[in-house]
Chains A and B, each alone.
Chain A
Amino acid sequence: MWERTLQDLIRGLRANKKDESQFIAKAVDEIRKEIKGDDMELKAGAVLKLTYLDMLGYDMKWASFHVVEVMSSPRFHLKSVGYLAAVQSFDQETDVLMLTTNLLKKDLTSTPADISVTLNGLSHIVTPDLGRDLSSELMTMLTHSRAHIRKRAILALYKVMDTYPEALAPGVARLREKLDDPDPGVVASTVNVLCELARKRPEDYLILAPQLFHLLQTSSNNWMLIKIIKLFGSLSPHEPRLVKKLQPPITELISTTPAISLLYECVHTCIIGGMLQGSSGDSLARLCVSKLAAFIQDTDQNLKYIALLALVKIVPTHPHLVAEYQDTILASVNDHDMSIRMRALDLVSAMVTSHNIQSIVQQILSHLVADSSTTALPTAAQSLAQQANSPTISTPHISPTQSPAYRLVLSQRILHICSQSLYENITNFEWYLSVLVDLAHIANVDVGAQIRDQLVDVVGRVKGVRRYAVKLMYTLLCDDTILHNAREEGSCSEVLWAAAWICGEYCSELAEPQKLLPYLLQSQIAILHPEIIAVYIQTISKIFGSWAAEVAERWDDEDMVEVKSTVDLIINGIKVFTGNADVEVQERAANTLQLFNFIQADLNGYKPLPPNNPFAEASSSFDPVGSAEPRFPKSLYLIQPLHSAYELNPVALLAQASVPVPEGLDLDVWFVAPPPEPAAKPELKTPKSSKGKGKEVNGSKSKSKKKQKESDANGVVVLTPVVDEEPEDHEARERRLAERRERLRDDPYYIIDDRSASTSRQATHDDIDSIPVVHLDDMPSMSSIDDSHLPTLRAEAVPSHHVAYTIDRDGEMPAGAVSPQPTSTREGSHTSTRATTPALTGSSTPSYVSSFPQYDVPDADVRTSTPEPIKVTRTKKKTKKRTQDSSALVESTS
């Protein structure tokens, strides 16, 4: 009698809390011995103990065969242990389930007790195979003499139909009969199953409506009535006549039933079943909302919760009815119960209109403010102190507003409310920008990236707010609270990205942009994320460019001192970042530094012209190029054209897709036919072909590459013109290729293919030597020579600008955006037609051609006196992808 029973095991566990794992390891060892023995009682005992341990998280998959053994015991008390273990531990992947088919079949013809245990077990462990093999047995069980068995069979049938869909059609036919079963429990189970089924494919069960309707009118079982009402909620959206038929009985139930759960389900079904439309629906809607409002004001928190749940669903159709209870609902956002707060937040965001958005957002903001910004500035020490203080607040539990997850939800909710449908509800964007800045300060959770995207998006879309935005961002950059905390969690330092970017892009709004430079150059910015530093560097150069151009325009030799000191400041500040660990920062810093070194040299070499030359003055203000020698240092105009040639515009969602495919470009044709010999490595193809013929940008590139992989060699060689591939790309590719070659050489698995590989490698060499290097060296002349190819060459980039420009000319925003400009709607429609009919614009070459000169125009526009050194190259500035809106900003500078 030394074997432990389950009770002994549990007692032992409770006595050995300290070294539980050790105790369990010992127990499992015993179980392993017991489970292998011949004594069925012992085996079952071991299985039961394992089942208990399984609940505590200890795996028992290894014993599944023994579980089946116990299941097959003829003794009922052992059999039920077996089935319990199976139900708890088996899943679809359990292999021994295959062995159970006959066992289950046998048990289904055994005593009622066995059948009932088996049906229960089957509902859990059913697999498609078991469903197939046992569905006929189940069907016969539906007519068993005992109601208990019939109920179980019905529920088991549902699980079988769920896993083995072929059983569905015959099963539903049988279920229909069961709706008339004499036993109310069986009918209830049937309704239960139908309710589940109808949620998946409601239209298939409309045919049952009359029977269900009859039950609705005759039954008094609240459980079943709830299910029937739910079932009708799924059905009625698919059958308008049902709505009319259901309205009277449901209205009656709502007014008479004492059961709140049933009342609530009726109200809920009215809402989701579309019964509130039309004239008769309106009074019903009023009734529903009044009932729900009573729930909200009830002291029972549960009723409050479900009322909020239902009101969220009624808001879209009857906002005015819900609006009557706005105060109560807003109060619920302050409820001490987190569950209720969450639902109230849902409801509140659904209720937002342009009239109440400010008060609602203000209220949500106040939740964030309450204990973060007033009691503690977001510094490490203080937030620690704040955490330490929190328990002393009267509530014993952590205040919900301190939970980061909740703060995140609140912050995201604010952003969502404001930005939904492209700022549909926002009438005052200055207010929104200040909300965003406030949020960045008080959120104390990680929403900085979202705030940043919102800031950039709003400023890009709403021209009218730019001036204010620049002012706001200027103060943000000067205020070093965020900068100081940038390293901390939830500091939202990403808004500095937006602040710097906005100040740089729209620095023309600033009267004295150079005043911002010291803030951008302070040494603390080194702690920011490299991405932000990169934008800072870019902003510095933008601001200087704009300011320098301005200075040059009203040049006075006395300005020289300030300009020189500013340049010195920038050079000293940026020098630090040329050694930055981040490649992006390093590269930008180095580029910018070189430009400023050039400017510095130019400034040092500058000699003021004699002031008594009236022509010089005149020419400098009008046409510096025409004049022989401008009065100001020429390099002052170096930077500005790099940044300001184009304005940023929101691009329609389909803009990229509507870029026309240039004539003569066949995306389905090989650039280079694949090598004929099959021995060549497939990996070698891709680099070779793309190397040889340059790359295509954007969609066409991936498409053609895919095509290359999919289709067989068709032998047609079409040489498309070489696209100016960036040197880094080229070098990187070459390096990769060399590396691969090296690898293959060392890889023993490639020895066999060495000869054929070497020949193809040879071919690769030829390609490299012959084509790209030459083209790269010759780049400028190439483009001038291959003038006919030029459109194809820039095809990917140019048309996108073209589309962006169209949008810009007509107005700032695509369809749906709220804009202070009255032209915006016209603009939006224009954009959308363009976007939806890409073929129209796409096929017309003229439109494409016309875009090309546009692109180059700014070169002429720039008032530069030194055209040669300021060779304007097209640079792609880093643009943030903004997926949340239907369009993104695309920036181009030349």
Chain B
Amino acid sequence: MIHAVLICKTPFLELGGVVVEGPTVNTSGVARLSKFYTPLHQSAQTLIPKIFSLVCSRPASLCNFLDAPELEAFLGPKGDEDERWRIVYRSYATLYFVFVVDGAESELGILDLIQVFVESLDRAFENVCELDLVFQFDEVHHVLAELIQGGLVLETNVDEIGNSVQLASKLRKESFTAANPLSLGTGVGGAGSRGSNLKSPLGWLTGKITGGRAM
């Protein structure tokens, strides 16, 4: 089964032309999404930053499976090849999509699944960019929930996933407008976030600029 899905941002590209500010800058990659399907042990808490830093330091030409001596201790008993965790990742522009799976999943299959996930995100956000994931992390979770449930793959067909995501998001919007008849999309509470789709092109453009500066 799938134990965790993580999305992290590579620390290097973010720095673009911006000056690095002191030693507090996180070099291990910034989490954009983390979802765990099995309870974490203490060791796994330290595993995540380690994975991020290792993944981020791998050049694109290397394989998509993370297997480093530093992780030996975390991945489970050595002899039990099937129960050991495997880390499959794929990078898209500035983002790394990392899946932690065990022997029940096909390694190459997971690579395809990551592709399916990204395509679904692309449909849901209409040309997904990183800031969509930053500002609408709940929406990302909803998309992921149409793909994987409880660590098992629910659906792999991009069209099916797209339909379900659309349907659910339409229902949420309707429910929101029913509750806030005067709202123009930005909710009173944070819960109205999905309404922010309305301000789309300009919205994420400004977000992008401010975001870029903020980094």
Contact = CB atoms under 8 A, between A and B. Distances in A.
Interface string B174-215: 111011100000111111111010000000000100110011
Interface in A102-136: 113, 116-117, 119-120, 123-124
Given A14-B215, A76-B171, A80-B142, A52 B191 contact: no
Interface string B72-101: 100000000110000000000000000000
Interface in A158-210: 158-159, 185, 188-189, 192-193, 195-196, 199
Contacts of A582: none
Given A48-B193, A76-B172, A226 B109 contact: yes
Interface in B35-63: 35, 37, 39, 57-59, 61-63
A337 B57 CA distance: 11
A5 interface: yes
B175 to A, nearest CB: 4
Q: Is the interface of A mostly helix, strand, loop or mixed?
A: helix
Contacts, number: 229
A55 interface: yes
A41 B112 contact: no
Contacts of B69: 338, 342, 403, 405-406, 408-409
A591 B108 CA distance: 67
B112 A185 contact: no
A208 to B, nearest CB: 16
Contacts of B57: 397
A337 B35 contact: no
Contact of A148 (B138, B151, B164, B176): B164
B31 interface: yes
A622 interface: no
A42 interface: yes
Contacts of A81: 138, 191
Contact of B152 (A10, A15, A17, A158): A158
A892 to B, nearest CB: 36
B128 interface: no
B126 interface: no
B116 to A, nearest CB: 10
A223 B109 contact: yes
Interface in A1-26: 1, 3-11, 14-15, 17-18
Contact of B104 (A10, A195, A309, A340): A195
Contacts of B118: none
Interface stretch (A299-307, A608-616, A640-648): A299-307
Contacts of A10: 134-135
Contacts of B149: 119-120, 123, 152, 155-156
B152 A193 contact: yes
Which of B168, B180, B186, B187 has the most C-beta atoms of chain A within 10 angstroms of its own C-beta?
Answer: B187
Contacts of A18: 21, 24
Contact of A230 (B34, B37, B106): B106
B122 interface: no
Contact of A77 (B35, B141, B173): B173
10 contacts: A9-B190, A75-B176, A77-B173, A116-B164, A148-B164, A192-B153, A226-B109, A264-B106, A403-B69, A406-B69
Interface of A: 1, 3-11, 14-15, 17-18, 34, 39, 41-46, 48-49, 51-52, 55-56, 75-78, 80-81, 84, 87-88, 91-92, 113, 116-117, 119-120, 123-124, 148, 151-152, 155-156, 158-159, 185, 188-189, 192-193, 195-196, 199, 223, 226, 230, 260-261, 264-265, 300-302, 304-306, 309, 313, 336-340, 342-343, 396-397, 403, 405-406, 408-409
Given A9-B190, A41-B180, A192-B153, 7 more contacts: A5-B187, A17-B215, A41-B191, A46-B190, A261-B109, A265-B109, A302-B107
